[in-house]
Structure 1
Amino acid sequence: MPLLHISMRAGKPDAYRRAILDGLYRAMREALNVPEGDEFMTISEIAPANFRCGNAYGVARSDDAVLIQITVFASRTAEQKKALYRRITDLLGDNPGIRPGDVFVNVLDAPAENWSVGHGIAQFA
């Protein structure tokens, strides 16, 4: 039950943003085995003056950097997360053509009782 927040500079066409969402969903299905239809994702487009990515950690980033934050159940393994990072980078490289250095991913673990997916019920607690 991942929840994704994607931040990027404003100005990309709809097809570009759709390709990001499609690639992230596919990567989660393949690397984390999320169920079909488990799509909870938002894209925030940030004005260039309000978006900054440095080149720390030996990674050169361009203006096309995409910041992806994924909250998942705390049950995901390190191996699953590594596979997810790789798959996201590969798929976003294929379409819409984002350079590997411009794909920044952060995974947050949340206990099952921290989730309510509707009706005010803690479905996974």
Structure 2
Amino acid sequence: MPLVRIDARSDKSPETLRAISDGVHHALVDAIGIPADDRFQILTTHPAHELVFDEHYLGVERRDVVFVQITLVRGRSDEKRQDLYRRIVRNLEADAGVRPQDVVVTLTENERVDWSVGEGVAQLVP
């Protein structure tokens, strides 16, 4: 059960924001095999001045960054994580018009016991 936080500028249309949300979710389904109905996202918009980023860090030219933070259970290979990044960028470019240079993705991994998805129970613990 990944938990996804997406931060983007508030001047994006509701349709673009939905396409960003969908693109991230579809990448998670395709790259790491989460179930299609396993969708938990927090989408937050900000005025441009609230999204601070280096426009040239590591030689990438950024203009309108979309931050994607994904918290998920530990255990995916480096190859699967890199495939996830590629799929997110591809989906956001194709479906939401977001430039690949403007997509920043971070993963935070934890253990199954670190999740309760309701009722005060750690449902992912066998």
TM surpasses 0.5: yes
Q: Which consecutive unaligned segments of at least 5 residues does structure 1 have?
A: none
| CA–CA distance in structure 2, aligned partners of residues 57 and 44 of structure 1 | 26
State the Cα deviation string for residues 44-99 of structure 1 (Å, max 9, x = none). Answer: 1112222111121111100x210000001011111110000000011111011111
| CA–CA distance in structure 1, aligned partners of residues 51 and 27 of structure 2 | 25
More deviation, 3-12/44-53: 44-53
| CA–CA distance in structure 1, aligned partners of residues 83 and 49 of structure 2 | 33
Residue of structure 2 equivalent to 1:27: 27
Residue of structure 2 equivalent to 1:58: 59
| CA–CA distance in structure 2, aligned partners of residues 3 and 79 of structure 1 | 20
Residue of structure 1 equivalent to 2:15: 15
State the Cα deviation string for residues 14-63 of structure 1 (Å, max 9, x = none). Answer: 0000000111111011001001211101111112222111121111100x
| CA–CA distance in structure 1, aligned partners of residues 53 and 107 of structure 2 | 18
Q: Which consecutive unaligned segments of at least 5 residues does structure 2 have?
A: none
Three-state SS of the structure 1 residue aligned to 2:5 is strand
| CA–CA distance in structure 2, aligned partners of residues 76 and 112 of structure 1 | 13
Three-state SS of the structure 2 residue aligned to 1:69 is strand
After TM superposition, list the pairs within 5 Å mapping 1:1-125 onto structure 2. 1-54=1-54, 55-62=56-63, 64-125=64-125
Paired-residue identity, %: 36
Runs of 4+ with >6 A deviation? none
Count residues with an aligned counterpart. 124
